Chain A
Amino acid sequence: AQSVTQPDIHITVSEGASLELRCNYSYGATPYLFWYVQSPGQGLQLLLKYFSGDTLVQGIKGFEAEFKRSQSSFNLRKPSVHWSDAAEYFCAVSMMNNQGGKLIFGQGTELSVKP
């Protein structure tokens, strides 16, 4: 069955440090992959998505993600974290349903930023 795993429930980094959030997926076909961010009391905002082509994808707010088919991974990175990046991050894969697509989400990684 299709699934998304985010191994880290909670990560704390210092402001200015680099960040990598892990995501592994299980999907038989070529995956469509997404990273969303959810700030407290807010809905989910799309950071970036991967469909095909260049395996390094650039997103908003200085985030990037790299698709590695051999490792079934789509890890999110940022070179220098800002305090405003503290939020919950969700990785998702799009799978087919009735000629359309639906998102399967991981359980999320909560990011805390130390001053």
Chain B
Amino acid sequence: EAGVAQSPRYKIIEKRQSVAFWCNPISGHATLYWYQQILGQGPKLLIQFQNNGVVDDSQLPKDRFSAERLKGVDSTLKIQPAKLEDSAVYLCASSLGRGLGETQYFGPGTRLLVL
């Protein structure tokens, strides 16, 4: 079974530029998550989708971050414009359902450096 795929793996941009990350979850997984992992910290949930609807985006900086999951499969996370503090690893995860005990499966992440 293929795991969660993410691209690109690395991205370097200058501040105020825009950037987009792509995620393809495990086939059949209804729930998709985007996490931000700043160096030295644990992952922090940015947004959670159930199929193509948003379940939780309470920690998404909506003035610069946006995400979509068209057709309930692939997802794209965008940052526009980027700030220095956005330098982090962006992890995508998916799970079969969205219950309390659901196991989340993580992709390899996209490492973003904003100069």
Contacts and interface: CB of A to CB of B under 8 A. Distances in A.
Contact of B108 (A41, A51, A108): A41
B43 A100 contact: no
A102 B56 contact: yes
Contact of A96 (B58, B100, B103): B100
Counting chain B CB atoms within 10 Å of each CB, the highest count among A9, A49, A103 belongs to: A103
Interface in A81-109: 90, 92, 94-103, 105-108
Given A43-B109, A90-B42, A108-B42, A97 B103 contact: no
Contact of A98 (B45, B55, B100, B107): B55
Contacts of B42: 4, 90, 92, 105-108
B75 interface: no
A44 interface: yes
21 contacts: A9-B40, A41-B108, A43-B4, A43-B107, A43-B109, A44-B43, A46-B103, A46-B105, A49-B101, A90-B42, A94-B101, A97-B55, A99-B98, A100-B50, A100-B100, A101-B100, A102-B45, A103-B104, A105-B43, A107-B40, A108-B41
Contact of A100 (B40, B98, B103): B98
Nearest to B3: A43
A41 B33 CA distance: 19
A79 to B, nearest CB: 25
A105 B44 contact: yes
A103 B91 CA distance: 13
Contacts of A4: 42
Nearest to B9: A41
Nearest to B54: A98
Interface in A31-52: 32, 34, 36, 41-46, 49, 51
B103 A101 contact: no
